[in-house]
Amino acid sequence: AQSVTQPDIHITVSEGASLELRCNYSYGATPYLFWYVQSPGQGLQLLLKYFSGDTLVQGIKGFEAEFKRSQSSFNLRKPSVHWSDAAEYFCAVGADFGNEKLTFGTGTRLTIIP
Amino acid sequence: ETGVTQSPTHLIKTRGQQVTLRCSSQSGHNTVSWYQQALGQGPQFIFQYYREEENGRGNFPPRFSGLQFPNYSSELNVNALELDDSALYLCASSSKGRGYGYTFGSGTRLTVV
């Protein structure tokens, strides 16, 4: 069974600083990997996804993530954060296209300070 | 195109009662998945419906059940509510086989007292 670990429960970053959110996954084959963002009281919005090919994936809102098979990681990065990036971020892994079930990590809450 | 609509947005139930949550899928989508998100946790897969049949289930007891209708909308029913059922319930619609193209609704916040 697949699993996802997000080691950082809460991260605080100054506006304009760079950001990296960590994600480690466990799955026997090539996983499908996702990053979602959730604002308070809202559903989940997809930032980016990795299925195959180029291991550096570009997403919306200036985010990118890099798939590293050797480290079982899929870390999310942004070169310069904005106050509007404050939210909860979830990494998720999907096993196959059969029932397209996602397994989520416990999330990282991002706080932006001026 | 319309997004995913969930109703109600909030509700409070008493332990032992039954509850029905509703989800209208996005236009063009034929699959609905339900997730439970407890406070401070990531969403957990409850089950998925495709062509009005259950197409995969997570580690949830049988008192969690669902339906999908011909218009692809869906219901989640929970019987014999327990305090631990308090959570945000998220519905996501997608088109099966198109690579996890989920669109999530804003969720229903259920509080069991």
Q: Summarize the confidence of residues A88-99 as an average pLDDT.
A: 84
Q: Is residue A30 over pLDDT 90? A: no
State pLDDT tens for residues B19-71: 999 999 998 889 999 999 999 899 999 999 999 999 889 999 999 999 999 99
CB atoms A102 and B100 under 8 Å: yes
Average pLDDT, chain B: 93
Q: Answer whether A58 touches B (CB < 8 Å).
A: no
Q: Answer whether A95 touches B (CB < 8 Å).
A: no
CA angle B102, B107, B108 (to 5 degrees): 150
Q: Answer whether A99 touches B (CB < 8 Å).
A: yes
CB within 8 A of B4, min separation 6: which ones? A43, B23, B24, B25, B26, B91, B92, B93, B103, B104, B105
Q: Is residue B1 over pLDDT 70? A: no
Phi and psi, residue A62, nearest 5°: 80, 10
Omega into A31 within 30° of 0, i.e. cis?
no
CB atoms A44 and B106 under 8 Å: no
A31–chain B nearest CA distance, Å: 12
